[in-house]
Structure 1
Amino acid sequence: MHTILLSFQSIGVVYGRLSTAPLYVFGSIPQNDFKSDESAYEYFSFIFWTLTVLSLVKYTFIVLKADNDGEGGTFALYSLLCKHAKVGLLPNDKTSDDVTNNETGSPSRTKAESRARRAIAKHKSSHYLMLFLALFGSCLIICDAVLTPAISVLSAASGLRRSLTDIKYSSSRKTEDSVLKDLRKYVPVPTSCAILVCLFTLQQYGSHRIGSIFAPVVILWLLFITGVSIYNIFHYDPHIVFAISPKYMYKFFQSISWRSWRSLGSITLCVAGSEAMFADIGHFSTKSIKMTFVCLIYPILILSYAGQAAFISHALSIKDSSFAIEDYNHFYRSVPDHIHYVFTILSLLASAIGSQATITACFSIVNQCLALGCFPRVKVVHTSDKIHGQVYIPDLNWMIMILSLGITIGFHDIVRIGNASGMAIISGMLVTTCLTSLVIALYWEKSLLLSACFLVFFGSIEAVYLSSNLLNFHKGAWYIAVLLALSLTTMVAWHYGTLKKYQFDIENKVSMEWLTDPTSGLRVSRVPGIGFVYTNVVTGIPAFFSHFIANVPAFHQVLIFVSFKSLPKPFVSPTKRYLIGRVGNRDNKIYRCIVRYGYHDHIRDSDDFEEQIIRSIGEFISLEEHDAESLISTEGKMIIVGKQLPEGDALIPLHDTGATSSPRASTQTNINTTEDTNPKRKRKKVRFMLPTNSPKMCPSVREELNELVDARESGTAYFLGQSHIAVRNGSNFIKRFLIMVYVFFDKNCREPHVALNIPHAALVEVGMVYTI
C-alpha cells in the first residue's frame, strides 16, 4: 500500500517532465526539416527507440539499481565508488576509516580487492577524473532545473497564444500574414513568469504535499493525451504504428545532411526527465518509480508521440499550408477543435508541474554535494519525517527561479531554450553512463568486458545525440556553457578551498605530548568546566587551539575534541554515529569524539547535541575497563558507542527518569547550560545522575564519571577556529582565482553547522591565518 501511495505521488513530481515533453519535442524541430510524410515516420522511429533504449532499458532496468542506500543521481554513483573503490578525494581521515572498514558486515571488508580496483587506485589522475565527472553531472542537473521550467511553461503558453489568435482570426477573417503578425506581437512572457513564480513558491511545502496536489492533474493530462492520441492514430494515419521499425532510422541516415543531423538534437527532449527520475528516487523509492514508468508513463508516451506523428504525416501528405506557419504547435493543431480550451488549460497546469522533477532532483543533488564539501553552505529543510530524502533548499530555490525567469524573458523562444535543454539532458546522460560503467566494474564487480559493453553501447547512442546538439551551439545551446561555467566554478572552488584548509590543518597540527607532557615547559593551568574544541583533524591538536594555548596557557578540567566526519551515505545509525577515544592517560581527562553523519542527517541542529556527546563519553568510560587494549594504546584507538550497556546507562539524564527520588542524592547534579541569546527560546536544562544500582562498576570508573558530571555542572565553553585565508606569494592565477571565489562564498554563505545553536556567551573563536 505504501508503494502504491508513493507511485501516485511520484506521478506529480517525477513524471511531470516526461509527460509534458510531447508539448515541445516535435515543435522544436525546424519546420523545413519535415520534407515529406516519411519524415514524420523517421522522427517517430527515433523517438520510440530513444525512449525504449535510454529511458526504459538503461535507466529503469539498470541505472536505478545503482542507488546509494536509496539515493540517486550522479553524486550518489560517485559516493558508491568512494565507499567501495577508495577513489575519494574529499577530506578524509584514516583513523575513522579503519574503524569503519573493520565493522562486521562492512562491504569494504567482505569484498575482495579486484584487479580493476588495484588499477584505479594506482592512478591518482583517474580519481580526479571521477570527481570531475560527478561535479560536472551535478552541475548539468542544476542547469536542467533552470531550463526546464522555462521551456515547459513557454510551450503551454504558446497554446494559449494560439487560442487567442484563432479567436481573432475567426472573428475578423484576417489573412495568414496578418495572423503571423499577431503571433509575433503577442508574446506569452507575462503569463509564463506568473506561473513560474507560483511554481517556485510551492516548493516549500515538500515533495509529498506537492505530489499529492499535482498527481491528479498529471493523471488527467495523461488520460487526455491518451484519448487524443488514439483518436489521431485512427483518424489520420493508422499505419504510423509500423514506424517503430528501425528501417525508418536507416532511411533517415541514407539522406543525412548537416541540417537534418542538427534536428536530432530536438529528439533528445523526448527523454527529458529520465536523469531526474534517477536523481529523485530519494524522494520516493526505486520500486515505486520503476513500477509507475513501466506500467503507465512509457506506453502513454509512445501513444502520444505516435498520435502527433500520425497528424503530421497526414498534414504533409495533403500539403496543408498551415503547417508551414512560423511557431507552429503540432500538438495543439492535432487536438480536435471542440476541446481546444480543455487542452489549453490542462497543458498550462501540466507544464508548470512538469518542471517539478528537475527542481526536486536539483535539491537532492545539491544536498549530497553540500554534505560532502562540494557546495557552499546553504540551509537544507527536511520536509518529511518519514522519507528523509525529501528536502527543500530555500536559497537554491529562489536562485533557480531568478535564472529561469531571466531565460524566459531573454529568450522567449522554445527552439533556442530546447537546444540548451537538449544539450544539458544528453550531457548528463553521458556522465551517468560513464559513472555507471565504473560502478558495474568496481562495485558490482562484474567483468570489465560487461562494463565496457555498457559504456560503448549506451555511450555511442548518447554521443550521436550530443554531436547533433553541438551543431546547435550558436542557436541557444551556448547558454548551457554559461550556466555550467558559473555552477562548476562555484563547486570546484569550494571543494578546492575546503581541501586546502583541511590539508593545512593536517600539516600544522601539534602532537598531544606537546600539551600533556609536563616537561614541555607550557605550565598549562586547568580551570573548572568542560571545553568542546571543534576541529577537522582527528589526531593531534589543531593549529588554532595550539595557537590559543601558546598565548593563554589554560584549558578546562575536561577537554573534548569534537570532529565531524561526513560519510558518502545518506544516513548513519545512532548506534554507529559516535567514535570515542582517550587522549593521553586517564588523569588528563582529555577525550576525542568523532561524529559520523550522512548527507541527510542533521544532527547539529538539535539542542541536546552536547548532552549526547557527554552520555557517549560516559558509555566509553564504562566500556573501556573491559577493553584492555584501549587502556594501553596510543592515541587513535576509537570505540564505537551507542549500544545498550549490559548494566544500563553510565550517565542518566534526569528527564529520562522522571521526578522520582533517588537514595544517591549526592550524585545528582543540576546542570544549567548557558542560556541562548535569543530571549524567545531557552536551552533546556539537563540534570545528570549515575545509576543507583550498578555493582559491576569499578570505583575508578565511578570516580571518573563523577568528575565528568561535576565538570558539566561548572559550565561549558566552545572553541571554534576562525580562518583567514591568504594565498602564498608566487601562486598562479587559477589558484588565486579559486581561493578568491572560495573566500567570497565562505563570507556570504551560511555559518558552519558546528556553530549552530551554540550560545554566544560561551563561544570562543580563535583566529588563524591559513597560508595556502
Structure 2
Amino acid sequence: MSSAGEGENCRTDDNSERSEKEVPSDSEGRKPQKLRRYDSLDVESAKVQGHHGHGFQAASWAAILQLAFQSVGVVYGDIGTSPLYVYSSAFSDGIKHRDDIVGVLSLIYYTLTLLPLVKYVFIVLRANDNGKGGTFALYSLLCRHAKVGLIPSQQAEDREVSNYRLELPNTRLGCSSTVKSALEGSRAAKFVLLLLTMLATSLVIGDGILTPCISVLSAVGGIKEATPVMTEERVVWISVGILVFLFSVQRFGTDKVGYSFAPIICIWFSLNAGIGLYNFTRYDPTVIKAVNPWHIVDYFRRNGKDAWVSLGGVVLCITGTEALFADLGHFTVRSIQISTCTVTYPALILAYSGQASYLRKNPWDVSNAFFKSVPAPVYWPVFAVAVLAAIIASQAMISGTFSILQQSLSLGCFPRVKVVHTSAKYEGQVYIPEVNFILMLACVCVTVGFKTTQKIGNAYGIAVVFAETITSSFMVLVMILIWKKHILLVITYVVFIMSVEVTYLSSVLYKFPHGGYLPIAFATVSMTIMYIWNYTYRKKYYYEMDHKVSPDQLREIAAQTNLYRVPGLAIFYSELVHGIPPIFEHYAANIPALHSVLVFVSFKSLPISNIPPEERFLFRRVQPRELCIFRCIIRYGYTDARGDEEPFERTLAERLKEFMREELWMDPSSRQQQIMTDGVEKEAEGSEDGIKNGVETNDRGEGMNHEEVEKGIEVLDKAWSAGVVHLMGENEVVAAKGSGIGKKILINYGYSFLKKNLRQSDKVLDIPHKRLLKVGMTYEL
C-alpha cells in the first residue's frame, strides 16, 4: 500500500503498468520477487501469527458423515425435484416410439454421470477457494494467480494474508506461461473474464426466479390427479400462494427450519428410489439396456431434429448441480462426494429408470409421468413430501441468490443493498430485502404468465446450461494456469465434458422464442446494472487515485494558520486505499477545523473467501506525527460479514492503540527475516516511509521512545472521551466535458438513477445519524 503522508511515489499497486525492478529467477524457476519498499502496513500484515486454515481442517469420519447427511438437505433440493418434470419436458409433443423412452433414459444416465458426478463432484469441487465454491471462487483464484482482475484496489501486501494461499510450483509448463502472459497482456481478456463472472451471477439470479416457479408448480400439479375439481387455474393460484408465503418468511432466516431439511430430502430420495425400483420390476425391467449408449444414436437416427430439440428437456435432470459447488462453504469436498455417490446419484438413477419402465407400458401419461407412476397407497404421502421438497429446493436457490449477490456487492459489481445476516451460527445465511421483494414479484409473474411446467422448462434450461458452460470455461483456465495440467488432459476435459454442455446449450437456445428469452432478459437487466455500477466504481476510484492529497499538500493544510484542532475522534470513510482522498482537501478548505485524532477508514474486499479477524485491520501513520492522522484499511473476503467487529468504534480505537504500541515494540529480527525472504537485504533501511531497522522513526530520524507512544495513546483516549464523529464523502459523479454519448448515459443517467434509488453508504454501514457529517464533492470522470 502506498503511504499517506510521505513516500506516495515509492509504491505502485498491482494494477499499474509502471515498471518495477525484479530479482532474477532462482534455479527452481520460482516467480521473480519484486523489489519494493516496506511501510508499517507491510510489517503489520507480515507479523500476524496465525490462522492458516483453508476451509475445513482434517475432520473425523464421524464429522464428515454428519456433514454428508446435512448436505443432503441443503445441496440437493433442486436436482432432487427434477424427476417431477424431466420426462414431460423431454416429450413435450408426446411419445412417438416406445424405444424413444430408452433413448432418453440413456441420455439421462450419461448426463447425470458426466456432469454432476464426474465434472462437479470429482473435478470442480477441487477448485475451491479456501473451502468456498461458486463462480466468484473460480474468478478469485484466477485473479490471485494472474493479474487479470479489474478491481482497482489491489496491493502487494494482500498476498501476505494467511488465507491468500498463492502456491508457486517448482515447474511451469510452457502452455501455462503462454496463457498467463496472454491474459495479463490483454485488457479485453480481463473484461471478458469479468463479464463472464457477471453473466454467471445473473444466470444464478434467473435460476433463483425459475426454480421456485417450476418446482412448486410441478409439486402442486400432482393434486390434479387426485381430484377432478382441481383445475390448472387453481393449481396456479395455489402455487402463487405458496411462493408469496415462501418469500415472506425469508427475513426470519433458515437456521431453525434448516434442521428439518435433511430428513425431508432424505425421505424424498427414499420414496423416489423405492417407487422407481417398484415400477422397474413391475412394468418393464428391460429399460436397463439404456446403459448402452448406442441407444442414444438410435434415438437421434429415428427423430433427427426433434431428438436434438428434446435435449432442452433432458438437461433439466441436472438442474441445481451448480449448488454442489456454490454451497461448498458449509461442507467439505469429501462430505459432498459421499452424499452424492451414496444417496443422490443412486436415487435419481432408480427414479428415472422406474418412470421409464412405467412409460413403456403407459406412454400416454407422459405429461405427468411422476405422479401417474406413484402407486395409489402412497400417493398422498408422496404428494405431501413432494410439496415440501419443492419448497426446500426453492429455499436453497433463493438463499444461493442472496449469497452470490453478497459476493458481487463486496467486489464492487453490484449497487449498495442491505445485507442482513439471519444466523449467528452459519455465516452464509443472508437476506437482502430489496432483492427478495423483486424475486417474489418475478416468480409470481412467471407462474401466472406461463402456467405450465413445460413452458417454464424452456426458460429454465437456458439458465442451467449457460451457467454450467461458463463454469467449464473457467475450469479450463484453472487447469492450465493453476493446476498446470498437461494439455492433453485439458483437451480431454473439453471433449468429454464441455462439448456435451455446448450441445445442450445449442438445444436450449433453440427454444428462445418459446420462453427461453426469459432468463436471457433477466440476465441482461442484471448484467446492465452490474456493469454500470462496476464501470463507474472503477472510474471514480482511478479519479481519486489521480487526485489524492500529496504529502506536500497535506503539510500545507497542516501549516494553515486558520486551521483549528477540536477535541474528538473523527472517522473519515473513503473507498480509496492508496492514499488520502481529494475530498479531504475540499473538507479542510471549507471547514478549517480538524479533530484531535483523524482516522481515514477504507473498507476493502480481497479476492479470497474470508480473512481471519486478527488480519483484518491494517493501520498506517500519516506524517508528520504531530497531526495524529492515521489510515486504516479494514479488509474483508467476499463471504465475510461486515459489522462483526461490533461495536465498531471501540474496536477501531483498541486496534489503533495496539498499532501505536507495536510501532515501538516491533521485533527487528522478524523484520530482517521478512526482508531476507524476499531476497532483499537492508532494503527497508533509509525508506522514505520513515521505517528504519524495523522501528518506525519520527520526522527527525529518531526512533520512537516509550514516552512518545504513551503520549499518543493518551491523546487518543482523550479524543475518544470527547466523542466520535463520522465523516463521509458524498461524491456526485458526472461525465467529463467532451465525453462520448455512451459514457454520459452510463454515468449521468444509469449510475445516478441506481445511486438515488438504492441505499446510501451510511445506511449500509449502520452509521449513527446523530454523529454523521456528510461532505459533498463533484467528480468529473
What is the TM-score normalised by the length of structure 1? Answer: 0.84
SS at match of 1:480: helix
Q: How does 1:21-32 map to 2 (within 5 A)?
A: 21-32=82-93
Structure 2 residue 753 is the aligned partner of structure 1 residue 744? yes
Q: Deviations over 1:355-400 (max 9, x none)?
A: 2332222122111111111112222222333332232323322221
C-alpha distance in structure 2 between counterparts of 1:74 and 1:104, whole Å: 22
SS at match of 1:164: coil
Superposed displacement of residue 102, structure 1? 4.5
Structure 2 residue 509 is the aligned partner of structure 1 residue 470? yes
Equivalent AA in structure 2 for residue 749 of structure 1: L
Distance 1:765 1:753, change over 3 A: closer
Superposed displacement of residue 635, structure 1? 4.8
C-alpha distance in structure 1 between counterparts of 2:167 and 2:559, whole Å: 41
SS at match of 1:367: helix
- The unaligned stretches of length 5 or more in structure 1 are 169-181, 317-321, 642-695
Distance 1:699 1:607, change over 3 A: same
Per the alignment, residue 542 of structure 1 pairs with 581
SS at match of 2:483: coil
C-alpha distance in structure 1 between counterparts of 2:497 and 2:661, whole Å: 56
Per the alignment, residue 686 of structure 1 pairs with none
Structure 2 residue 369 is the aligned partner of structure 1 residue 288? no
Structure 2 residue 478 is the aligned partner of structure 1 residue 420? no
Maintained 8 Å contact 1:277/1:357: no
Equivalent AA in structure 1 for residue 325 of structure 2: F
Maintained 8 Å contact 1:430/1:462: yes
Superposed displacement of residue 626, structure 1? 4.7
Equivalent AA in structure 2 for residue 160 of structure 1: I
Structure 2 residue 590 is the aligned partner of structure 1 residue 551? yes
C-alpha distance in structure 2 between counterparts of 1:284 and 1:305, whole Å: 28
Q: Deviations over 1:321-363 (max 9, x none)?
A: x448xxx211222222343333333322222222233222212
Superposed displacement of residue 109, structure 1? 6.9
C-alpha distance in structure 2 between counterparts of 1:82 and 1:8, whole Å: 34
Structure 2 residue 482 is the aligned partner of structure 1 residue 454? no
Per the alignment, residue 135 of structure 1 pairs with 198
Of 340, 343, 357, the residue aligned with 1:310 is 357
SS at match of 1:355: helix
SS at match of 1:563: strand
Equivalent AA in structure 2 for residue 12 of structure 1: G
Structure 2 residue 736 is the aligned partner of structure 1 residue 728? yes
Of 91, 111, 136, the residue aligned with 2:152 is 91
Of 86, 102, 105, the residue aligned with 1:41 is 102
Superposed displacement of residue 283, structure 1? 3.7
After superposing the two structures, state which structure 1 stretch, 209-218 or 223-232, moved more. Answer: 209-218
C-alpha distance in structure 2 between counterparts of 1:214 and 1:622, whole Å: 50
Distance 1:522 1:489, change over 3 A: farther
- Residue identity over aligned pairs, in percent, reads 39
Equivalent AA in structure 2 for residue 500 of structure 1: K
Superposed displacement of residue 229, structure 1? 1.0
Maintained 8 Å contact 1:203/1:392: yes
C-alpha distance in structure 2 between counterparts of 1:23 and 1:475, whole Å: 21
Superposed displacement of residue 286, structure 1? 3.2
Q: How does 1:462-541 map to 2 (within 5 A)?
A: 462-517=501-556, 524-541=563-580
Equivalent AA in structure 2 for residue 756 of structure 1: L
Equivalent AA in structure 1 for residue 334 of structure 2: K
Q: Who wins on radius of gyration, i.e. which is larger?
A: 1
After superposing the two structures, state which structure 1 stretch, 109-118 or 350-359, moved more. Answer: 109-118
Maintained 8 Å contact 1:558/1:711: yes
SS at match of 2:630: strand
Maintained 8 Å contact 1:532/1:561: yes
Q: Deviations over 1:267-293 (max 9, x none)?
A: 110000101221122244433322211
C-alpha distance in structure 2 between counterparts of 1:330 and 1:436, whole Å: 36
- The unaligned stretches of length 5 or more in structure 2 are 1-61, 669-682, 696-703
Structure 2 residue 374 is the aligned partner of structure 1 residue 335? yes
After superposing the two structures, state which structure 1 stretch, 433-442 or 266-275, moved more. Answer: 433-442
Per the alignment, residue 38 of structure 2 pairs with none
What is the aligned-residue RMSD (CA, Å)?
2.8
Per the alignment, residue 588 of structure 1 pairs with 627
C-alpha distance in structure 1 between counterparts of 2:121 and 2:501, whole Å: 17
Maintained 8 Å contact 2:92/2:454: no
Per the alignment, residue 10 of structure 2 pairs with none
Structure 2 residue 178 is the aligned partner of structure 1 residue 123? no
Per the alignment, residue 779 of structure 2 pairs with 770
Superposed displacement of residue 522, structure 1? 6.9
Superposed displacement of residue 768, structure 1? 0.6
SS at match of 2:424: coil
Per the alignment, residue 214 of structure 1 pairs with 261
Maintained 8 Å contact 2:163/2:608: no
Maintained 8 Å contact 1:605/1:753: no
Maintained 8 Å contact 1:157/1:348: yes
Superposed displacement of residue 729, structure 1? 3.9
Structure 2 residue 225 is the aligned partner of structure 1 residue 162? yes
Q: How does 1:217-366 map to 2 (within 5 A)?
A: 217-316=264-363, 322-323=364-365, 328-366=367-405
Maintained 8 Å contact 1:207/1:283: no
Q: Deviations over 1:132-152 (max 9, x none)?
A: 111101111110110011111
Distance 1:704 1:729, change over 3 A: closer
Per the alignment, residue 706 of structure 1 pairs with 714
C-alpha distance in structure 2 between counterparts of 1:570 and 1:107, whole Å: 11
SS at match of 1:92: coil
Q: Deviations over 1:402-442 (max 9, x none)?
A: 11111000110211100100111000100000111112222
Equivalent AA in structure 1 for residue 283 of structure 2: Y
C-alpha distance in structure 1 between counterparts of 2:273 and 2:693, whole Å: 60
C-alpha distance in structure 1 between counterparts of 2:578 and 2:377, whole Å: 75
C-alpha distance in structure 1 between counterparts of 2:274 and 2:161, whole Å: 56
Maintained 8 Å contact 2:80/2:344: yes
Superposed displacement of residue 736, structure 1? 3.1
Q: Deviations over 1:70-97 (max 9, x none)?
A: 221111211111222221111314xxx2
Structure 2 residue 71 is the aligned partner of structure 1 residue 7? no
Distance 1:151 1:538, change over 3 A: closer
C-alpha distance in structure 2 between counterparts of 1:404 and 1:765, whole Å: 39
Q: Deviations over 1:521-563 (max 9, x none)?
A: 6753333332222112234431211111122333122222211
Q: Deviations over 1:722-768 (max 9, x none)?
A: 11122234434433333223222222222326873433343221101
Structure 2 residue 650 is the aligned partner of structure 1 residue 611? yes
SS at match of 2:128: coil
After superposing the two structures, state which structure 1 stretch, 35-44 or 438-447, moved more. Answer: 438-447
Structure 2 residue 595 is the aligned partner of structure 1 residue 562? no
Superposed displacement of residue 30, structure 1? 3.3
Maintained 8 Å contact 2:733/2:779: yes
Superposed displacement of residue 189, structure 1? 0.9
Superposed displacement of residue 517, structure 1? 4.1
C-alpha distance in structure 2 between counterparts of 1:392 and 1:427, whole Å: 26
C-alpha distance in structure 2 between counterparts of 1:595 and 1:105, whole Å: 16
Distance 1:351 1:607, change over 3 A: closer
Of 69, 72, 80, the residue aligned with 1:19 is 80
C-alpha distance in structure 1 between counterparts of 2:518 and 2:427, whole Å: 34
Maintained 8 Å contact 2:137/2:609: no
Distance 1:31 1:725, change over 3 A: closer
C-alpha distance in structure 2 between counterparts of 1:411 and 1:640, whole Å: 68
After superposing the two structures, state which structure 1 stretch, 292-301 or 435-444, moved more. Answer: 435-444
Per the alignment, residue 117 of structure 2 pairs with 56
Superposed displacement of residue 456, structure 1? 3.9
Distance 1:197 1:633, change over 3 A: same
Distance 1:330 1:760, change over 3 A: closer
Equivalent AA in structure 2 for residue 699 of structure 1: E
Maintained 8 Å contact 2:664/2:705: no
Per the alignment, residue 432 of structure 2 pairs with 393
SS at match of 1:255: helix
Q: How does 1:54-203 map to 2 (within 5 A)?
A: 54-93=115-154, 97-102=155-160, 107-108=165-166, 110=168, 115=177, 116-165=179-228, 186-203=233-250
Where relative contact order (Cα < 8 A, 6+ residues apart) is larger, the structure is: 2
Of 719, 723, 730, the residue aligned with 1:715 is 723
